[in-house]
Structure 1
């Protein structure tokens, strides 16, 4: 392969495990496909859906594959189909027709397994991107499940499971030649664990959709917001403790604005004193909800990126996030938001902002300015650099193998 070929736009077959679902990973995958289409880059997307069909929009081809009745849920709409491999011949036909230079998978699931298998079978360079901390999700759920056990035993069980799942995931990511991760901590972990080239793949934000201009309230109430799934792995029960802490400090001019649905909804609604639960929102309603917040509380410790914190910042809302997981990389502490080590920190930082309107105003502007500097365009251009790197590595290995067998290059 000459230099011109390497610098040309790669033909990519994309196997996202989450594409039509409502979550951050699916949103990022859809935006990546949209980016390719907007640039007229050839892009084939293979994903699971409720029916099997093929459609083409510009330079992008979309092949959805129906999951069987034996599928079981992994998380909300996301599922795993043990019979999904029955689609392999159909996908192979698509791959042979499309002739990709690179195959891109996103995780350990039924869709990506087909992509990884075909990359191996056809000797096509493979790129893998990490979108979800499945090991931490599993640990949180196990911890929630075994609440009846003594805390030290529950922690040992969930900790053991978390490490084993992480070990398995890292082993799976040894198959790609290049790996992408949403924060530097995961880039380092995957790079070291897989001994592969590892690159950062963050997430951008739409500064028009998420903007202070969508604000519709103008009273003296300070709104503390949360957006996301109301599930154990998001640590949402900590919102109750934060509210109790604020009340203990004498704060009264507040209201919680909680956007999302999930199994913890009823538990929260029964125990929180001043909270509005909107359920799932999207479009203009979501933009308005963000903009009506003043402080964004995100106690999740399992998010690989935490795009909701970035959307909140773009909306002119000051995020307070955990010091565990990916969201902390989005925050400049005490400038664009706060990084909390424990629930006391969440309470103290929120109380400080509530009692200091001038500081809250400065930080709201700083949060907005910081978020606006992150564009989807630059992030996806970086993904294409990773595609080219995987091709370069594959070509270099081919040349090394030929030279090792006698030095012939024909």
Structure 2
């Protein structure tokens, strides 16, 4: 099957959406599918206001329609609600092509945090509902998020879980961070919606470590000079950093999944999190981590968990299963019955 994925989130961005798409594409290719992407790489763009790490790509529906026609896919998946996603949506509706969509981020809540004026939250949800309304399958990462979208009158909601690369994230020697213990670690974007101030407010002994970067880093460093800001870490360096922590703290109440939780758990590091939708679907309380109304309570309990049990408890999350679910929700786009093979060099998959 020839699959086209349209996404505004792409390398060099470092986030769960990019990691998920790249992992799923690799699995799909290994199963024999012909996967193509339309992504921001090499296109005119400008930084998102108030969040310069994310770029907005400039493209028209006509331009993206021509790209879709060149690929002539069997199935189209629109992964994000950015400019590329909206242009692809318009092109598909105009050309009579069916498509599926992905719900990765609660943009309505994020917009409300950055622009705290009346009506922003409800308007944000209305925009998201409109975007996904024509979708044949709105793929969401957890049952809790699916239940919320059902309540908000989204149609055709389907569960599409996540995975973890256990060759990379595993039980390493715990000597990668030479810091006083216990080491409580946050991994992810340093952004206002991530709840990092709650992490910083934790009254715990030992060391606080933050892996990642984002618009809040300068403010957080200024207010918390004793914390250790490591910036982005990648590959085995990142995995060894996770494995060296005593607890991975997940302070967000708005994430739709939180891939970093799986990565930490696969390394044997328990997760401490709020009693919120994403952790409730990912963390098995008392086995792979601890969930509570108080992060201090969750951290205290999580430190007592057996690390081998934590790692074993995450084994049912695999990228193979994730790719199988993704494939099962795709629908024939219906527009190219006379499709011919692409010319040499036109394979559009981009992986790093």
Q: TM-score range by the shorter chain?
A: 0.7 to 0.9
Gaps of 5+ in 2: 336-352
Give the conservation status (yes or no) of the 8 Å contact 2:272–2:289: yes
Deviation by residue 1:94-117 (Cα, 9 ceiling, x = unmatched): 322332222111232111122212
Match of 1:382 in 2: 325
Give the conservation status (yes or no) of the 8 Å contact 2:62–2:91: no
- For residues 92 and 348 of structure 1, what CA distance do their matches in structure 2 show? 52
Shift of 1:164: 1.8
Note closer, same or farther for the CA distance 1:212–1:171 as it changes in structure 2 (3 Å cut). Answer: same
Match of 2:349 in 1: none
- The correspondence for 1:29, drawn from 21, 34, 49, is 21
Match of 2:103 in 1: 130
Match of 1:182 in 2: 141
Note closer, same or farther for the CA distance 1:351–1:271 as it changes in structure 2 (3 Å cut). Answer: farther
Q: Are residue 16 (structure 1) and residue 15 (structure 2) matched? A: no
Aligned length, in residue pairs: 333
Question: What secondary structure does 1:266 align onto?
Answer: helix
Shift of 1:194: 4.8
Note closer, same or farther for the CA distance 1:351–1:192 as it changes in structure 2 (3 Å cut). Answer: closer
Shift of 1:41: 0.6
Note closer, same or farther for the CA distance 1:339–1:108 as it changes in structure 2 (3 Å cut). Answer: same
Q: Rg bigger for which structure?
A: 1
Question: What secondary structure does 2:196 align onto?
Answer: coil
Note closer, same or farther for the CA distance 1:113–1:77 as it changes in structure 2 (3 Å cut). Answer: same
Q: Compute the TM-score of the two structures, normalised by the length of structure 2.
A: 0.86
Q: Are residue 239 (structure 1) and residue 199 (structure 2) matched? A: yes
Note closer, same or farther for the CA distance 1:205–1:97 as it changes in structure 2 (3 Å cut). Answer: same
- For residues 190 and 55 of structure 2, what CA distance do their matches in structure 1 show? 18
Give the conservation status (yes or no) of the 8 Å contact 2:273–2:298: no
- For residues 193 and 176 of structure 1, what CA distance do their matches in structure 2 show? 15
> Over aligned residue pairs, what C-alpha RMSD do you find?
2.5
Shift of 1:181: 0.5
Note closer, same or farther for the CA distance 1:215–1:324 as it changes in structure 2 (3 Å cut). Answer: same
Match of 2:287 in 1: 335
Moved more, 284-293 or 88-97: 88-97
Match of 2:208 in 1: 256
Match of 2:228 in 1: 276
Q: Are residue 45 (structure 1) and residue 37 (structure 2) matched? A: yes
